[in-house]
Amino acid sequence: MRVKDFYNILGVSEKASADEIKKAYRQMAKKYHPDANPGDKTAEERFKEINEAYDVLGDLKKRNKYDQLRMYGHAAHNSDWFQFDPEILRQHGWSAGGFQGQGNQVFGQGFAFSDILRELFGFDGIVNDFAPQYGPRDLTGDVNISFIEAITGAERTVSVKQRKICPTCSGTGRERMAICSHCHGSGNIMTRKKIRVRFPAGIDNGHKLRIPGMGSSSRYGGPGDLIITVHVEADGVFKRQGKDLYYEASVNEVELENGTRILVPTIDGKKVALPIPSGTKRGTLFRLKNLGVSVNGQQGDQFVRIV
């Protein structure tokens, strides 16, 4: 049988003070935190082990019992595991099939070997993990706006579900070394907030609007951002390419041969008279200057395609 060597995991000696253990825990938790290592499964597992180690070594009673347990085993060089000799375990109440019904020998201050294993690791031999779990702090969502709203600007009220640091335990997941009753050990609480979002004039389909500070919070970092992806609905009259608008005008053969004048709708609801010279071919593009979309102070054009 083997259990994890928590001293080695935190990189401290068996004689380390409570402050030294806490300092080591904070440094390593910051280094291996998922927020600092996105997508790194190795770092994520290391972060869990660090929290397991501090769960025991940061509690004086648990640490004393853990130290007694270590007296009956030995650690391999540069290993995070502590190995127990089967014969030693057998002598102190451990059999191949599990805990013996009788024979749980008591050692050191009246603690039973099997009782310590149960308290520190649970019946499956694994430390109970009540460490807060943190994910990405940025929040993402989608908003649909009309073609006209994308050009003129729009506003929407959106509901944002944010993860915040638990104010009771300050994100540790614990109250006086017990599970926090407010966040149930997660270190986080969920809140919902409604905010008014302004979509600027000229915004295009697929644009990602970033609102700083409206994401979730982490114990190891400030609030993230809210990122909204804009989806612009198609229009039955106009098509858009960047700042420019395109409109298709249907003209018959006689008018193409002899020439004519047509009324072309614009995005502001008005109509512009456009002369079509005689002999114009289908597919010809006419440009209406400065009748396109205004983006960051730059005005696009409207193009009329003869079909």
What are 33-76's pLDDT values in tens digits? 877 888 788 888 888 888 888 888 888 888 887 787 776 665 55
Q: Name the token pair of 47.
A: 């972060």
Closest CA to 113 of 60, 168, 152, 72: 72
Q: Indicate the average pLDDT of the chain.
A: 77
Tell me the fold of 139-232: HSP40/DNAj peptide-binding domain (2.60.260)
Q: What is the mean pLDDT of residues 72-93?
A: 54
State yes or no: pLDDT of 6 exceeds 70.
Answer: yes
User: Could you tell me the CA-to-CA distances from 168 to 10, 26, 165, 196, 252 in Å, in that order?
Assistant: 26, 19, 9, 29, 76
- Predicted confidence at residue 220, as pLDDT, reads 62
How confident is the model at residue 248, as a pLDDT?
94
So where are the chain's domains?
Answer: 2-121, 139-232, 239-306
Which of 103-117, 210-224, 273-287 is least confident? Answer: 103-117
Highest mean pLDDT among 33-42, 69-78, 83-92, 123-132 belongs to: 33-42
How confident is the model over 74-86, as a mean pLDDT? 53
The superfamily (CATH) of domain 2-121 is: DnaJ domain (1.10.287.110)
Q: Say yes or no: do domains 139-232 and 239-306 share a fold.
A: yes
- The CATH number for 239-306, chosen from 3.30.420.40, 3.40.50.1360, 2.60.260.20, 1.10.10.10, is 2.60.260.20
Residue 171 carries which side chain, given as an amino acid letter?
Answer: G
Tell me the percentage of the chain whose pLDDT exceeds 70: 75
Q: Are 24 and 31 in contact (CB under 8 A)?
A: no
Between 226 and 82, the more confident residue is 226
Residue 289 pLDDT more than 90? yes
How sure is the predictor about 105, in pLDDT bands with cuts at 50, 70 and 90?
very low
DSSP 54-78: HHHHTSHHHHHHHHHHHTTEEEPTT
Q: What is the mean pLDDT of residues 69-86?
A: 57
pLDDT surpassing 60 at residue 98: no
Q: Counting Cβ atoms within 10 Å, is residue 28 exposed (0-12), middle (13-18) or buried (19+)?
A: buried
pLDDT at 282: 93
More confident residue, 254 or 190: 254
Contact of 158 with 197, CB cutoff 8 Å: yes
